[in-house]
Amino acid sequence: MLQKTIKSITPKGKNMIQTKSETVNLLVVEEQEIYREIYNSVLSNNVDINVLRVADVGEKGSIMHAIAQLSPDVLLLSIKKLNENMIEELGEIKNSYPQMGIVILIVYYSPQDIELLRKLALCGGSGMALFLKQSLDKVQQLSRMVLAVKQGQVILDPPLANFMFAGKPDCPFLKQLTARELEVLSLLSQGYTNQQIAETLFIDIKTVEHHLNSMYSKLKSDPGYNAKHLRVSAARLYLEKMGVLQPKEESRIPAGVR
């Protein structure tokens, strides 16, 4: 249902990142030893994040076992490339723990991986983030992602979003956007204000406004263009093409994106 889906994206009365939030219990599963040391060090310094364990990937079933033992709010899985067994296990984890958020960081991906991950992201009402490891520049960026996923957000790295939209010729608007514009649009569709977008992307608010104006000029190429509600039209198109929303009347778009 639309109402349930929107609630999972922008919970009522909450901003993307709350100024006062409950501590997030985090389980980190990292394939590379050097990163395990880094995560254990930097994430433990965040007062809003309680790192339960930083573990190796291990054999199939080991992640599920750790989740059952520790009951984390969020699973952070960092791996070079997902294989079929891992994606299958993630699906089982999603079904068994539908309220747990998942952050997945990868280095390499194929078209098959992206399609499977897209379906995984849309399964259930919990938050999920799909990001390329090389896209992370700051510790704060990762910390915010963990907190956002706990709140039910669905976040995509722009290059991955570009990849998903590449095969969707029915949406000329999205195909015209740059990676940065997609990043801004992703945040906009989750109810971010211009100021919150600027803070999250570490850019000036005037730069955000520049990207929005550029997007709005490109929006005119789409049949769903509405000159009176540009912000709503852009958010609706993005969420529909991501499969988060079914095509609905504009009046059904959540107030957070107006």
What pLDDT score does 111 carry? Answer: 64
Q: 129-154, pLDDT tens digit by residue? A: 888 888 887 888 888 889 888 888 77
256 SS3 class: helix
b/e map 202-229, b = 16+ CB within 10 Å: ebeeeebeebbebbbebbeebeebeeee
Of 201 and 18, more confident = 201
The answer to whether the beta carbons of residues 228 and 250 sit under 8 Å apart is no
* DSSP state at residue 245: S
Percent of the chain exceeding pLDDT 70 equals 74
Q: 182-191, pLDDT tens digit by residue? A: 888 888 887 7
Given CATH 1.10.3720.10, say whether it is the number of domain 17-152: no
Of 52 and 157, more confident = 52
Q: Residue type for 215, please?
A: M
What pLDDT score does 258 carry? Answer: 38
pLDDT band at residue 123 under the 50/70/90 scheme: low
pTM: 0.63
The answer to whether the beta carbons of residues 129 and 153 sit under 8 Å apart is yes
103 SS3 class: strand
CATH fold label, 169-257: Rossmann fold (3.40.50)
Rounded Cα–Cα distance for residues 122 and 137 (Å)? 26
Tokens 């000036």 locate to 204
Location of each CATH 3.40.50.2300 domain in the chain: 17-152, 169-257
